[in-house]
Amino acid sequence: MKFVTHYFPYIFAIFSPMFLFAESIHFTQKIETSFFQTKEGKLAYTKLGFGNKKFILLPGIGDRKESYLPLAMLLAKEGTVYSFDLRGLGESDTSFTSYGPKETALDTISFIQENRLENIYIIANSMTAASAVYIQSHERKRVLGLILSGPFVRDKEPMSFGLKSMLQIMFRGPWGPSAWVKFYESLFPIQPPNDLEERKDKLKENLKEEGRMFALRSMLFAPKTECEVELSNAKGNHIIIMGLKDPDFPSPEEEALWIRDTIGGKVYLYENGGHYPFVEEPNRFFRDIQTLWQKK
């Protein structure tokens, strides 16, 4: 992530002196949080819809399962939708000893196997795109396709000691949740969602809970190496969606095309999209990804 060049003003601002959609979408199924028990702790998830197709939704670093709600409601018309909180975030436990893309992948594989899921499509954002690659490479018969948005699937360059130190300062201490929420807001540079303020408030409230910022920092520094080596084993039915205004990438289009050329699939570029295209344009996102399972 290009924190230094893109977000330095936010550091000064910090250190110096859905549910809006839910009102307009009619959905009769009550949304309740369930928990999946792993060896080290519980993972929170919600389940919507019914059907043979299974959708597993993985949020990015610092985000919550509720971020996917508008998209999940649309997907629930097509099949069964599982939206997850990552280790240490949302309603999941903070008792885990490690956090990162491979850990997310292993948790998801355990969930798939224990529940004997088939006909799966994984939708992942940011860091968890690397997790999705790992999952698909190990569950090729069960996972029929990947939808990767704002995806980080590789470590392009090592993080310098100076950058690591700065991020530790930014996201540690009582100001940490506010710092992250400022950064989160910056990832919607052109078309923020109507409920952005509510999203920010809930995100900050969650990150203030004991252990959550530690989990977030651990994910920031976690390497993608063990997921990246699986890229050659994850070729197939994929969609890569990238916002052309995503400040997390020097060249969003270049990265999207590199991923396509590496694992295959189709690229959709959102002209005014930031790092969360499924939040900014859920209806467009839904229409685009339907091509994975709808016959022509």
Domains of the chain in start order, with CATH, are: 3-292 (3.40.50.1820)
- Which residue(s) pair with 18 in the sheet? none
pLDDT in tens, 175-190: 899 999 999 999 999 9
Is the pTM higher than 0.95? The answer reads no
Rg of the chain on CA atoms, in Å? 18
The dihedrals phi and psi of 257, each to the nearest 5 degrees, come to: -70, -35
The span from the CA of 115 to the CA of 125, in Å, is 23
Q: Which of 290, 268, 67 is nearest to 57 (CA)?
A: 67
pLDDT in tens, 100-155: 999 999 999 999 999 999 999 999 999 999 999 999 999 999 999 999 999 999 99
Check pLDDT > 70 for residue 10. Answer: no
Number of Cα atoms under 13 Å in the Cβ half of residue 254? 5
Joined together, the tokens standing for residue 2 give: 């290009």
Joined together, the tokens standing for residue 291 give: 């091509």
- Which residue(s) pair with 37 in the sheet? 42
The dihedrals phi and psi of 46, each to the nearest 5 degrees, come to: -120, 155
pLDDT in tens, 179-237: 999 999 999 999 999 999 999 999 999 999 999 999 999 999 999 999 999 999 998 88
Joined together, the tokens standing for residue 281 give: 């344009």
